[in-house]
Chains A and B, each alone.
Chain A
Amino acid sequence: MQLLLDNAHVFLGGIIQTFQLAVATLACATVVAVLIGVTSVLPFAWARLVALCYVEIFRDIPLLVTMLFVYFGAPLLGVPLSPYWAALISLTLWGGANGAEIVRGGINAVPRHQTVSAVALGLKRWEIFRYIVLPQALLPIVPPFTGLFSNLVQATTLASLVGVTEFFRIGNIIVERTTIQEGHSPAFLVYGFVLLTYFVICSLLTGLSRRLERSLQNRGGRVVRVAVKPTESV
């Protein structure tokens, strides 16, 4: 325990880095998810094909492979990336693809007669999307999207493999340093602490998701489960 207290400021630095990466990832992935998700339901076949290709590519490649590919591939294109940016870009690509499926599922969950009756009222296409489809799509989108946020926070640990000094990597460094300096490994204690911290963060997110879901249902929202392929490739 003394070891954890002695290294509290180092852990704090790591957790700040983790939060920075997580928040930036969540924001960027959300933007990408909405853009690609909306593209995937446009009435143009080419647009749907672009969205489909994007989603399938980044959902079917393990996130770690994407991260290494971005980190080591970018310099070949003349754009050397810092570990942080490589992690942010690859997490965004992966989170955006998974989020896009949630957005697409949410939009498709809005019954077709809703659009038809809005058309019959003489509303424009964008007005129908803005006032009728989007608000109804948000209800089923929110709970799985919070789940995706939790996955993304967990996935930030992979950034340690390209050298980002986030929370997990800090734990790693402390274990290695203590083993070398003191001759015994505090791995169980440190990784236990890391595990507990991620558990608390993700549990809070899950709790928030449940609360949000209940609040939407209480407000008369019709929450439809959005079928999304499990994100096993983290």
Chain B
Amino acid sequence: MAEDPLIRVRGLVKSFQGVRALDGVDFEVARGEVVVVIGQSGSGKSTLIRCLNGLVEPDDGEILVGGTAVDTHSQREWRLLRQRIGMVFQDYSLFPHLTVLRNITLAPIRTGRASPAEAEALARELLARVLLPEKADAYPGELSGGQQQRVAIARALAMRPEVMLFDEPTSALDPETIQEVLDLMRSLARDGMTMVIVSHEMGFAREVADRVVFIDRGRVVETGPPVAIFRDAREERTRAFLAKIL
């Protein structure tokens, strides 16, 4: 029997002030898969990714994580799930009053996933991985945007998540620092990390994604391998979107 997808979403609906941001979305992510979600601004892709870790509560629909249905109204259930689902935001959102090391170790220690010594050892290991081993004692304000985003990725990885969600991780970065973040994400993909990425970086999507999902007006219009989507999209709306940005 095939393994359950790590994340499965059925008929997800979410409205904001009468406007449907998600209009019956079906979506799934297999373990080890890299899925890149593309679409215009306001198409619902950020709402979708935020629904996957309970930051946005859907009005209707079902979310299953590891084959188990999530009670989407239970914040306690989401809180426990979030310890398995890492999230990286567009604006890095590091805690400015804490050192880089403390930013990374806070959640593993507080949630009981690691002792302080284990958390610090893992944090230093992750900082080496994101090529910032010397910045452990720096404050976020002393880092560039790209460095802050790499620390944010290390912070999410410190929870040893089963899946990483990236909400436009390079949108707020200077062009010269985008590449360093994309390189890190490439290396995570190579290591088999399950990832859902909302991104406007089409070159990156083409290169790294196992599957690309195109969303428009709150609906999944088309999904498939990058080659199929970028070269040979079936739907007119997908072709129109790609024609505008490529």
Give the B-binding residues of A (Cβ under 8 A).
113-114, 116-124, 127, 131-132, 135-136, 139, 220-222
* B79-118 interface with A by 8 A CB criterion: 79-83, 87, 89, 91, 93-97, 106-107, 110-111
A121-B97 in contact (CB<8A): no
Given contacts A116-B55, A220-B139, A220-B141, are A123 and B93 in contact (CB under 8 A)? no
Check A131 against B110 for contact (C-beta < 8 Å). yes
Residues 8-52 of chain B, each 1 if its beta carbon lies under 8 Å from chain A, else 0: 000000000000000000000000000000000000000000000
Given contacts A119-B55, A131-B106, A131-B110, contact A124 B79 (CB under 8 A): yes
Q: Is B147 an interface residue (CB 8 A)?
A: no
Q: Is B199 interfacial (CB 8 A cutoff)?
A: no
Check B95–A132 contact: CB distance below 8 A.
yes
Across the interface, do B97 and A122 meet the contact criterion of CB distance under 8 Å? no
Q: Are A122 and B79 in contact (CB under 8 A)?
A: yes
A15–B216 Cα distance when bound, in Å, is: 72
Q: How large is the interface on B (under 10, 10 to 19, 20 to 34, 35 or more residues)?
A: 20 to 34
Give complex CA distance A220, B96 in Å.
8
With the chains together, A221 CA to B91 CA distance in Å? Answer: 19
Alpha-carbon gap, A113 to B55, bound state (A): 11
* B196 CB–A CB distance under 8 Å: no
A135 adjacent to B97 (CB under 8 Å): yes
Q: Are B141 and A123 in contact (CB under 8 A)?
A: no
Contacts of B83 in A (CB 8 A): 121-122
Q: Is the CB of B96 within 8 A of A136?
A: yes
3 nearest A-B residue pairs (beta carbon): A117-B93, A122-B83, A121-B107
User: Is B155 an interface residue, CB under 8 A from the partner?
Assistant: yes
Are A114 and B95 in contact, CB atoms less than 8 angstroms apart? Answer: yes
Q: Which chain A residues lie closer than 8 Å to B53 at the CB level?
A: 120
In the complex, are the beta carbons of B96 and A117 less than 8 A apart? no
What's the least CB distance linking A55 to chain B, in Å? 27
Say yes or no: A116 contacts B159, CB within 8 Å.
no
Complex-state Cα separation, A64 to B83, whole angstroms: 54
